[in-house]
Amino acid sequence: MPQARLLVDLPDGPWIADVSRAFPDAGFRVLTAVPDESAGFALLRLTARDADAVLAAMRDHEALSKVSVMARGDGVATVRIETNAPLLLVAAKRSGLPIEMPLDIENGVAEVDVTGEHERVAALGKRFDELGLEYEVERVRQRVDPVRLLTDRQQELLLTAVELGYYDVPRRSTLTEVADHLGIAKSTCSETLQRVERTVVREFVDDLPNRPLEDDADAAGADTGADGGADLDAESDAEPATNPQTYHS
């Protein structure tokens, strides 16, 4: 299902636009929010060098009817607010496409993440237009269910390696021990883990801004040995465990 990130330039008037522009170094992260046609309730985390000044500006803003500090730290505050102008939440409600939390706002610009059919995303853009919200699409990608990235046996091998401490620093188990635990050949274990690592790492890098990777099916199993994360250690590959089990990647 498509996932989109929209950068929404908030108009002057809503408290989050006015206060975040008045304090461009401050960060506002909305943790949870409940929309209504005439009001909105939210829990947010404020990060700023002068949190007291930002909180004072929030309390003074006419669009905020309630500002309650739930927790305080050095330059950080968790705040519950009630506002009479929840533009983003109203647009999301009218389009039938919820905005994913957390929602980050800095200097009048909100990073809005949504996941849904193309028609729903288009409907949200139309609601933004109706409310006078300017926006640009930063990226659109296909969201993949992490469980579907790996086969059942690949997942079993990866989870076993993690549980045995193969990925700890320093490592608490060797590749041979992981292979023996599962009753498979060490070479099979190495090759399968390399494929698992490649799949997981490429999916992670694809999710980074401006760093898409082209899928190269031909290279799926080509990188082995010193270039792979699951290199064979000094022991011989020629000693498979008793009754080896075949892992298909």
DSSP 188-210: HHHHHHHHHHHHHHHHHHHTSTT
pLDDT value for 218: 43
- Confidence at residue 158, expressed as pLDDT on a 0 to 100 scale: 92
Q: What is the DSSP letter of 24?
A: T
Mean pLDDT by 10 residues, the chain (249 residues): 88 94 97 81 96 97 95 96 86 88 96 89 90 88 68 91 94 94 94 90 67 42 44 42 46
Of 140, 136, 99, which Cα lies nearest the Cα of 2? 140
Q: What's the confidence (pLDDT) of residue 104?
A: 96
Report pLDDT for 146. Answer: 61
The pTM (predicted TM-score) of the whole model is 0.60
What was the pLDDT predicted at 163? 94
How many C-beta atoms surround the C-beta of residue 202 within 10 A?
16
Strand partners, 113: 5
Rounded to the nearest 5 degrees, what angle is found at the Cα of 42, between the Cα atoms of 36 and 43? 165
Do 20 and 47 touch, CB atoms closer than 8 A? no
